[in-house]
Structures are given as structure tokens and as C-alpha cells.
Amino acid sequence: MAMLILEDGTRFEGTLFGCRKAVGGEVVFMTGMSGYQELMTDPAYCGQIVCMTYPLIGNIGVNDLDFESGSAKLSAILVSELCDMPSNWQLKTPLEQYMEEQGVVGMHGVDTRALTRHLRKAGVQRGCIVEEEPADAAQLMAAAPAPALACTCDQPYEIPGEGGPVVAVLDLGMKRSLTAYLNKKGCTIRVYPASTPAQAILDAGCDGVLVSGGPGNPQDYPEITEAVRALMAARPTLGVDLGHLLMALAAGAKTERMLYGHHGSNQPVKDLARGTCAVTGQSHLYAVSGDGLPEGVTVSHINWNDRSIEGLRYAGLQAFSVQFTPAGLGGEFDTTYVFDQFMDMMKKGDEQNA
């Protein structure tokens, strides 16, 4: 028998699976009914212990197609019921075997409903998973790796396109699926490590800049925020997830920690200009503060559940940003218009520079 110990002293019991070791991390809950493979490899979950609210996990195993990065990024996963007989035509590896190989801790038999209700009331907090009573649970939690930009690429690389504009991506922990739609539209994608200076990206040449999502508190990255500010002033720029938050900071807005954030594939977001509402995929614990937005920064999207800010426009700049992942798990075509608007912005930028 293992246990999850939260920093407020609350405990939840279960049985270990996958990699069996003590681990600490930030405990969040994910509300999607599917997508555990994408979640486990999403860099935005780096350093977190994720509680799955859907009761049965592992029924389709792991395949070769749905990875969002080259390895699992989260610290641990908590489930109510683990399926030990997966069945799917794309199945390559059972979930538990994949977790053993990746060093990811799992705990099943957890009362995930009670845990989720507790986090919704008390807020996200740090925790640790142990098999025996730890000598110092607080020390184990403190020693857990915090989310950071360790998920960025080591070197620049290119994904060739066919006749479309060149998009420079500042990789803060990019999901593989982020650039798929743009690449299908012919865009050449040039991906740069998060620490790349803005001038180096501009000197290499690009028609637009995409600032990706990733893990962590946006206020922890002031140097990257400065680079983002320079890129916004020089090229058509789109920010997504963490990129949205850094663009907001670069424009003088403030960000704040949410009580339990948005994690899942079913977050409703309203586009105020279009008057439409889309189901979106999200994974963040921080949001733009609605208090005292700078002049020229206007809200374009809001979350229809809690009315938090989900998108911004920046007057005087060819730039906009969204908190959600366009064309994400909520449906392939629900929010691809965001990328279409970005491509139109790059086209207009080319015409102005011609």
C-alpha cells in the first residue's frame, strides 16, 4: 500500500504501478475523458503529479502516434482504476510497461473524486507519493523538481514546408502537435531553444514568430520575456499557453496563480469578436490578471466557466495570444482559425514590407 501526502497533511491511499519509487511534485487534476498518452508527454506537465478524473485509464495502452514529445515529462499519475488488459489496433505497449521504461510513478485505487474535490476547494499544492511513512515528507516535497524550461530543445532545427511562410518557434516546451497545422499549410517551421536571443532569430530570417507553451510560472523567465518583447515589435507574433502569458508580461500586463488552473481537453472558450464558443485543450496554472490591463491590451477570449482571460490583442503591434492550444484535443477544426489569422497577419506583413 502506498500513499499520497499533500502539504496540508491530507492523505490518499493506493497501490503503486509503473516505476516504484518515492516522488514529489505539484498535484493537479486533469478533466479530460481521454488523452493520457498526450498528457504524459506534454512538457507543460513537467514536475507535476496528475490526478486523472476519468475513472478508467490505460484501456488503449500506448501507441507510436500520440506522443507530444520524445519522453514522459510528468512526475507521477494517479488513477482510480488501471486497465491491465488494454486493447486497441494501434497498441504498441501497455501503459504500465511504458511508465516503467520512462521512470514515471503511478498509483491506482485512489479516490480520485475525493482528491479532485479537495484540490478544487483547497487549491493546487505540493505532495509526495511514498510506500512507507517518510521521515520528513516536507523535505521530499521540497526536493521535487519544479517545472522549468528543461523541456526546450537543445539545438535549433527545421521542419520543411512547401511554399509557405517561415515561422520561427521559440520553444518553451513545445508540443509536437502545435505546429502540425501550420506545416500542413506549407509553412516552414524553424524551432529555437528558449534562451535564443531575439536578434539571432531575426537575423536568421522569418515571416512570423510563434511563442510556444511550456511549464512553470511565467514570472520566472524575465530574460525570455525581454526577447519576446523584441520579437513582438519586429514580426507578426502569436503566443500560445505559456507563450501567451509571456507576451502579456512583455506588454506590461500582470499574471497570477489560479486556485487549481485549467488542465484538460474540455475547457469552453468564447471568442468575443466572433461570438463563438469552442471546446479547447489547456494545461496551465497561471493566467493573465484582469486588473489594470495596460492601455492597448484588450481581451479577445474568455473562459466560459470562470470568465478568466484566454486571449489578448495588442494595439499597434501585429501580435495576439491565446491561453489554449489551437486545434488541440477539443476538435481538429474548432480553433484552427487562430492559425489562419496568424497566417493572414504574416501575409499582410510581407505585403507591407514589399
- Superfamily classification of domain 149-353: Class I glutamine amidotransferase (GATase) domain (3.40.50.880)
Q: What is the pLDDT of residues 131-159, one digit of tens each?
A: 988 767 777 777 665 565 789 999 999 99
User: What span, in angstroms and rounded, lies between the C-alpha atoms of 31 and 48?
Assistant: 15
pLDDT mean over 312-321: 97
- CATH 3.50.30.20: does it fit domain 2-143? yes
pLDDT mean over 108-122: 98
What SS3 class is residue 46? coil
Q: Where is average pLDDT lowest: 12-16, 28-32, 188-192, 327-331?
A: 327-331
Q: What is the pLDDT of residues 236-277, one digit of tens each?
A: 999 999 999 999 999 999 999 999 999 998 899 999 999 999
**In terms of C-beta density within 10 A (0-12 exposed, 13-18 middle, 19 or more buried), how is residue 89 classed?**
exposed
- Asked if the domains at 2-143 and 149-353 fall in one CATH topology, the answer is no
User: What span, in angstroms and rounded, lies between the C-alpha atoms of 233 and 94?
Assistant: 48
Q: Where is average pLDDT lowest: 10-24, 190-204, 272-286, 326-340?
A: 326-340
Across the chain, mean pLDDT equals 92
DSSP state of 178: G
User: What span, in angstroms and rounded, lies between the C-alpha atoms of 329 and 334?
Assistant: 10
pLDDT attached to residue 144: 60
Q: Does residue 317 carry a pLDDT above 70? A: yes
Cα–chain center distance at 142: 23
User: What span, in angstroms and rounded, lies between the C-alpha atoms of 151 and 56?
Assistant: 29
pLDDT attached to residue 301: 98
Q: Are 270 and 290 in contact (CB under 8 A)?
A: no
Q: Are 255 and 293 in contact (CB under 8 A)?
A: no
**Per-residue b or e along 258-271, where b marks 16 or more CB atoms closer than 10 Å to that residue's CB:** eebbbbbbebebbb
Count Cβ atoms below 10 Å from residue 312 Cβ, excluding itself. 24
Q: Does residue 328 carry a pLDDT above 50? A: no
Residue spans of the domains in the chain: they are 2-143, 149-353
pLDDT attached to residue 4: 96
Q: Does residue 60 carry a pLDDT above 50? A: yes
Q: Does residue 303 carry a pLDDT above 50? A: yes
Q: Are 39 and 45 in contact (CB under 8 A)?
A: yes
How much of the chain exceeds pLDDT 70, in percent? 94
